[in-house]
Amino acid sequence: MSSIVLIVDDDPAGRQTLESILEGQGYILEMAENGSQALEKAHQFLPDVILLDVMMPDMDGFEVCRRIRNNPILAEIPIIMLTALDDRKSLLDGLEAGADDYISKPYDRYELRARLIGITRLNRYRKLLDDRNNIEQAHLQLLSAYDATIEGWSRAMDLRDKETEGHTQRVTILSEQLARLEGISNEELVFVRRGALLHDIGKLGVPDAILLKADTLTKEEWEIMQKHPQYAYEMIYPIEYLRPALDIPYCHHEKWDGTGYPRGLKGEEIPLTARIFAIVDVWDALTSDRPYRPAWSKEDTLKYINSESGKHFDPHIVELFNKLMK
């Protein structure tokens, strides 16, 4: 894509000279005859560089330069000042006004071309960096929106399932702490968090009559309830950005000895994050009041978890959990 160069000079001969030097160099050239026209065309074309004459009536190049630098839309456009004045004060005034470079008349065509190539290249790199930063910022904002949506889903599921207030938030925080103790990286912790927030999303597929039943479930009802991890898989797998978080919703009811569900996975066949979450989920469930029983003490719950080491839970994760509780 060709760079746009805005030439600003009140002298037609000066504009023609610059046009002849830059003709055939791959630039799109736009002309302005005075400061006001320069500002207007700068807004219109957003040029890649401005060649700006200093000595102009009404509004000199220094003032044009200052106005461009004070305009948020135009401020980043590179400016090369052009002048017949070859003195230190003019150079300093131009740089103080915001010029990026300074060339004295009469121009050396090869020097002018080289200076222009250099400054347009730098401007192109700056734009690429800005674009990359904007993309990264948009990506972060999108991920933030995704995570806010997930947290909203998790609160809705707690309300529907009549879970104790804050259950999902508590198990999410504790799962992150235990996963960090296990040495899971910060990058992977993102998926631990999402998986914990969505651990029971599959229950959306379980009828209220079963999910909210106060009495003991029948065999048929329990078989339906045990399908909720499979429902979670079917809901989450098509969503690509959530797929790495699927292990917890899909596998947190598997047991170390192979007696869990939905697939009867055994030992290290069970994903690590699901083994971590399984302990945390049981811990929070037992230490919380439920309609059918009061909360267990932390001491009794920890004894129970240790008694299930090698049966329900991964013995190594049980050891880590004991360390975390201390």
pLDDT tens profile 106-125: 878 888 888 888 887 776 66
Q: Whole-angstrom Cα distance, residue 210 to residue 196?
A: 23
- Alpha carbon distances (Å) from 154 to 6, 10, 76, 245, 315: 56, 66, 45, 14, 29
pLDDT > 90: what percent of the chain?
A: 50
Q: Give every CB contact of residue 228 below 8 A, 6+ residues apart in sequence.
A: 200, 202, 203, 205, 206
Comparison of pLDDT for 115 and 9, the residue scoring more: 9
What is the per-residue pLDDT for 70? 92
- Alpha carbon distances (Å) from 213 to 157, 162, 201, 230, 266: 16, 11, 18, 21, 30
- Alpha carbon distances (Å) from 324 to 17, 252, 318: 77, 20, 10
DSSP 8-state secondary structure symbol assigned to residue 203: G
Q: Whole-angstrom Cα distance, residue 30 to residue 203?
A: 64
What CATH number corresponds to the domain at position 248? 1.10.3210.10
- Supply angle C-alpha 26, 30, 35, rounded to 5: 140
89 and 181 together in one domain: no
Q: Greatest CA separation found in the chain?
A: 96
* Cross-strand partners of 49: 5
Per the structure, the count of domains in the chain is 2
28 and 101 together in one domain: yes
Q: Give every CB contact of residue 195 below 8 A, 6+ residues apart in sequence.
A: 245, 246, 247, 248, 249, 273, 277
Which of 85, 116, 133 terminates a domain? The answer is 133
- Rounded mean pLDDT, 199-216: 85
- Rounded mean pLDDT, 91-104: 80
124 and 264 together in one domain: no
168 and 284 together in one domain: yes
Q: What is the pLDDT of residues 128-143, one digit of tens each?
A: 666 677 777 777 777 7
Is the previous residue joined to 57 through a cis bond, with omega within 30 degrees of 0?
Answer: no
Comparison of pLDDT for 209 and 91, the residue scoring more: 209
pLDDT over threshold 70, residue 155? yes
90 and 219 together in one domain: no
Q: Whole-angstrom Cα distance, residue 45 to residue 47?
A: 5
Q: Whole-angstrom Cα distance, residue 298 to residue 285?
A: 11
What are the structure tokens assigned to 267, written together?
């030992």
Name the pairing type of β-strands 4-8 and 49-53: parallel
pLDDT over threshold 90, residue 299? yes
What are the structure tokens assigned to 319, written together?
């050891």
70 and 218 together in one domain: no
Contact 49, 75 (CB under 8 A): no
Q: Would you place residue 252 in the very low, low, confident or very high pLDDT band (cuts 50, 70, 90)?
A: very high
What are the structure tokens assigned to 212, written together?
């909210």
Which of 118, 133, 148 terminates a domain? The answer is 133
176 and 316 together in one domain: yes
Q: What is the pLDDT of residues 18-74, one digit of tens each?
A: 999 998 888 899 999 999 999 999 999 999 899 999 888 889 989 999 999 999 888
Domain, as residue range, for 251 = 161-325
What global pTM score does this model have?
Answer: 0.59
How does the average pLDDT of the chain come out, rounded? 87
| 221 is a domain residue | yes
209 and 101 together in one domain: no
84 and 124 together in one domain: yes
Contact 29, 59 (CB under 8 A): no
- Rounded mean pLDDT, 143-157: 76
